[in-house]
Structure 1
Amino acid sequence: MDDGSVPAREKEEQPELERLKKECQRNVLMTVQVTEQAEQILQLQEENRRLREENQRLHEENRAQNRSTGRGNSAEKKEQAEKIGQLKDRIVYLENAVARLLQDVQQLRESGGPRSAPVREARMQLIRMFKTVMSRFHVSVPIGVGDEHGQQGCNESVPGEENVLPSSIGSMIWEQDGSN
């Protein structure tokens, strides 16, 4: 082998090495973004849990007061109804925030995101959180949102309630991964 072939070979491999380096940097950035979004979802879930407990406490106080006074003070009932309404609004906000985070993850995946274990695990964690939030509100979980073993979500709607999220979100995530 002559001395000129090694540098020529390195020059040929240089563009590929640069491309791989940029791809690795992009994958690391996307993994960090997905991790941050998963942390945001955990915080939103904790806030959701706290609001549900507060809602339950207010509901129990209202029931106890109604039993003790016969009907309860209408001004107090109105105040408690307003608090419950505010809590329900906050819960809907949290559900929508989870949906937005799921869409962000989908956009990351569509932009050529890595199929590495941390990203896949973060995605699965988001899906599990999504299913948990939806089941707590008795809202149907779109077909296709399941676990790694192909378990399908519940698709039965409660009369009078609509899906908060478009059914395409879960399907899009599964289509990208190919594991149905």
Structure 2
Amino acid sequence: MTDLLTHLRTRRSIPAPQLGEPGPDAASLTDILTIAARVPDHGKLAPWRFILYRGDGAARAGAALADLLAGRDPATSADRLAFERARFTRVPLTIGLVSRAGPHVKVPEWEQQLSAGAVGVNLLHAIHAHGFAAQWITEWPSFDAEAGTLLGLQDGERFAGFVHVGTPKQPPFERDRPDIAKLVTEF
């Protein structure tokens, strides 16, 4: 396994179309999710949860999104509907990261949302540490209430995004990174 500093310096998201089989087995997935959940969580609220899309469930989720779009606009192109049907089946596993942030007497919603974001980052690191790759994206189903309901959200929940997981089909490519000197201010 790569040492932690090397991992943190080199971890790179792999676009979902470049991910394939295999995905994590049951034991690896349990470990990945357990590691993801080790985040700052004021009040021990666990203001987040996971929805797993794989196999038949992934196909049903994609079909539901395609049906939703077709119902809203019968002129939606066949290519777009095919893309939606395959949204969750193009990779071995997609993890829906759900934020359950809400009003609390001691813990502001913003802190709860930050905790969900921390879960997402830990999730990416855990996936990569297990030898897989991932891409965390949002796209329209994350922000559409009706799509959210179709994909398993409950009242008061929203998607922090979808983490597509698999084995890279090609090596990662590097992208430009921020100039840290331009982002730091002394007070």
For normalisation by structure 1, the TM-score amounts to: 0.26
Q: Which has the higher contact order (CA 8 A, sep 6+)?
A: 2
Report the structure, 1 or 2, having the larger strand content. 2
Which structure has greater helix proportion? 1
